[in-house]
Structure 1
Amino acid sequence: MNKSSWTVMRQRDFGLMWWGGLISLMGTRMLQVALPITVLELTGSPTAMAAIVAASVVPQLVLGPLVGVLVDRWDRKRVLIIANIGQAAALLPLLAVHHARDLWICAAVTLLSASIAPFVSTAENALLPRLVGDEQLPTANSLNALNNNLARLIGPLAGGGATLLFGLMGVAIADAVTFLAAALLIALVRGRHRAEAAAAAEAAGEVPPGFVRKFAREFAEGIKVIVASRTLLIIFLMFAVMSVGEGIMGSLFAVWVTDVLHGEAPELSWLIAAQAVGGIAGGLVGGRFASRWSPRLLLGVGMLLFGAIDLAIFTYPLLWVNVAPGIVGMILVGIPGVIASAGAMTLFQRSTDDAYRGRAFAAVGTVMAASMLLGTGVAVLLTGPLPIVAVLSIQGITPMLAGLGALLLLKRTETDVTEEAEVSTEPEGSAEPAPAPA
């Protein structure tokens, strides 16, 4: 971790939010191993797994616009506290899952949890620029990606073992505890964190119109901000394309492990954790890339590499059925994934004003949910007629299309030109990483 990363991590409020996110994400990642394995063990049906994935994305599609309006109206710190507590309570019905006929409980819990989760992600993304300076945003986003991948490493390993030892019940209890711990840490963040426009309106004593009229007006304001920004529109399109592949992967990854690699819960957890190892490496060096590359280059180059490696991962079993190459590929793909994520988040945060940031992030979540739902449908329709490997290959193609879109459609900046000039004048054999050409 470089100096700029340590500087950001030492900021108290950012650190509290970072640790809270890490702890709750570890619990979530544990459940993401336990739940699909349990569903497949109880039902043996890929369609049942697709139903769980659909239940996880429908709430974002339906509630996304409302979430954005409310996060821009409410104190974002308070939203995070209440939502984390709600997530903990939502998991309790999983304690009653024992038979195939209990699949509806898994779907209902997934639906409820997914209805609360957008409040957490939207409030966190909207709050982050208030906790660090603008010049520190790329590094902070890189550290958040490191956070996600640490959870992806620790959570699945713990989840795989806990599923074998304690079953879904034990994992659900552990996940609930992590959400409560996160709520406590967020409560220690200093100050109130309402959007300036909402706070100013309250201070001025403005009388709001009826709820429906006010919601419609505020939602329309957020859409206008997005439509007026070429950068935001391009990022929206990119997220939509990538999320189709994510929906396919979410539906079929566990099936790929069990049917193509002939693995079980341990192999699934190893593969998920392996990507986290690469993500951790990417997070540790991400601050270095973030300080040298523009967000456009981070996003474009990162997505191209991410897609190419994903494509190799899902197709190599055609030549050799062994989990080892998959583990290596998952490690490699984590690095460009972190770099691309830091670029996307920085572009988005810089392109939105604080007053509209919650609505903008919620709109992205809605677009992604719709695309993931489409991807889930594609997975269900194509899994029979086509081999699983062929269907999962779409997950490799979509990030590559998004990466090309970032490089070709997003505006070149002076930072791009400066960085490329610096690279071209570096002495041969320099240890500094050279950015890819724009």
Structure 2
Amino acid sequence: MLGVLRIRDYRLVAMSQLLSSLGDWLLLVAAPFFVLRLTGSTLATGAALAAETVPALLIGPVAGVFADRWDRRRTMVTTDLLRAGAVALMLVVHRPGQVWLIYVALVAEASFSQFFAPARKALIPALVGRGAQLGAANSFAALVSGTVQLVGGPIGGALYVAVGFAPVVAVDAASYLASAILIITVSHRPASAEPRRASATPLRRFAGELRAGVAHVRSTPALPTLFTVAAVFFVGNAALTALLVPYIGTVLHAAAGTLGLLFAALGVGYLAGAPLSRSVAARFTTRTITIGSLATLGAVFAATFNTHDISWDLALFTLIGPPAVCFLVTVDTFLARSTPDHLLGRASSAYGMVQAAATLIGMLAGAALGQQIGIRTTMNLAATAVAASAATAFLIPRGNSPDSINTNEPAPEPSAPHTGTDGHSERRL
């Protein structure tokens, strides 16, 4: 898995992911606490968390079209700079009447991220190829996410307590600037763009490109089923997430610090799951991995939230990470291998929109049902939904997996840029 870091351009992109993700996690902890301190309102605090969900639903499909149309490297650099500016807006907030600026900043940051994320996902196959190195790159991305999740939350909380909100905001903005600098140094350049139809209006051209992305997702064998499986999983997972704090307070009767410990345990599981996902991908098909990982997750969730003991929950939270990483990496790799480069931004955005919509539905349903029928019953229903996603995965057709597509494609040389057929470096993240 670590061998993929020999590819210079991918190494730069991975470093940018580490820096910007770490900054995000610092702010993820600090911003809600800062809003709560200014307003004393739990509703206002919840709005700070929800502010980043809406852009994925409204902007995601649009962003995917432009991620495929624009130079992906330039898109990432531009959005990093814009995200740094959006985050810096929070530095002027000092009074309760200015809290709305935090919401504006969070929505703007999330909106720009909708352009960054598909550009990044679409760039990775161009940097590492679509064979074994693609799975290694996705596994390493999961390793980075696990590391950030393990240390980001505790560091963010500690920084907020030690130095206040403004320095945390400054660190997050600086992480975006550092990410932009790293991506600027990437040597990869796009191949020649598709010729544009002069007769088409901008709106008709956009609609046509959007339809092409939808048509690809709908017509690719197994991809619609995999999206459905993922949607069911994210609904159940989000419902559990929405009830995690009430579960800690009313079921475990534990302090708020327990949440940080559980997230740290989850991060340990993600770290263990990254190399495991690489090994599993080399031995089993997408269908088998999806069924097995989701069935395991359903069982672990059921055990975790029926134990009602902090020590056992900490141990069980570490077991959530490996099957979760295996599933998420498998979907990302399947999507990249089954999608041509010129459609990958749109396909990635479609997946992101499915994830955002399912997450929003799951959180709302979890919160509402937890109030009506109880936290424990709702969490068991959510765990059942995750198990149902494993059952749905049996509908993935056999023999239509792109697991072997392009696996003979050579990866880029570690020390040289991967160039297109026209002599220019290909587009990248």
- TM-score of the aligned structures, taking structure 1 as reference length: 0.84
Shift of 1:409: 1.2
**Match for residue 127 of structure 1 among 123, 126, 132:** 123
Change (3 A) 1:109 1:335: same
1:39/1:103 contact within 8 Å kept: yes
After superposition, give the CA deviation of every residue in 1:161-181 in whole Å (9 maximum; x if it has no partner).
112212333322211111111
Shift of 1:312: 2.7
Shift of 1:393: 3.9
Partners of 2:287 and 2:114 in 1: how far apart? 26
Partners of 2:178 and 2:257 in 1: how far apart? 27
Change (3 A) 1:262 1:404: same
2:73/2:184 contact within 8 Å kept: yes
Which runs of structure 2 are paired with 1:266-415 in the superposition (5 Å)?
266-317=257-308, 320=309, 322=310, 324-406=311-393, 408-413=394-399
What residue in structure 2 maps to residue 78 of structure 1? 74
After superposition, give the CA deviation of every residue in 1:236-282 in whole Å (9 maximum; x if it has no partner).
21222222234434544344444544555543222212111111111
Shift of 1:65: 1.2
Shift of 1:47: 4.2
Partners of 2:6 and 2:370 in 1: how far apart? 48
Partners of 1:414 and 1:65 in 2: how far apart? 26
What residue in structure 2 maps to residue 23 of structure 1? 19
Which runs of structure 2 are paired with 1:35-434 in the superposition (5 Å)?
35-40=31-36, 47-97=43-93, 102-136=98-132, 137-193=134-190, 199-201=193-195, 206-207=197-198, 209-263=200-254, 266-317=257-308, 320=309, 322=310, 324-406=311-393, 408-413=394-399
Partners of 1:106 and 1:260 in 2: how far apart? 32
Change (3 A) 1:327 1:97: farther
Change (3 A) 1:54 1:156: closer
Change (3 A) 1:264 1:193: farther
Identity of aligned residues (%): 32
Partners of 1:415 and 1:236 in 2: how far apart? 14
- TM-score of the aligned structures, taking structure 2 as reference length: 0.85
Shift of 1:390: 3.4
What residue in structure 1 maps to residue 411 of structure 2? none
Matched pairs, number: 403
Partners of 1:70 and 1:414 in 2: how far apart? 29
Partners of 1:257 and 1:39 in 2: how far apart? 22
Shift of 1:73: 0.2
2:229/2:392 contact within 8 Å kept: yes
1:247/1:373 contact within 8 Å kept: yes
Partners of 2:245 and 2:168 in 1: how far apart? 18
Shift of 1:347: 1.2
2:76/2:116 contact within 8 Å kept: yes
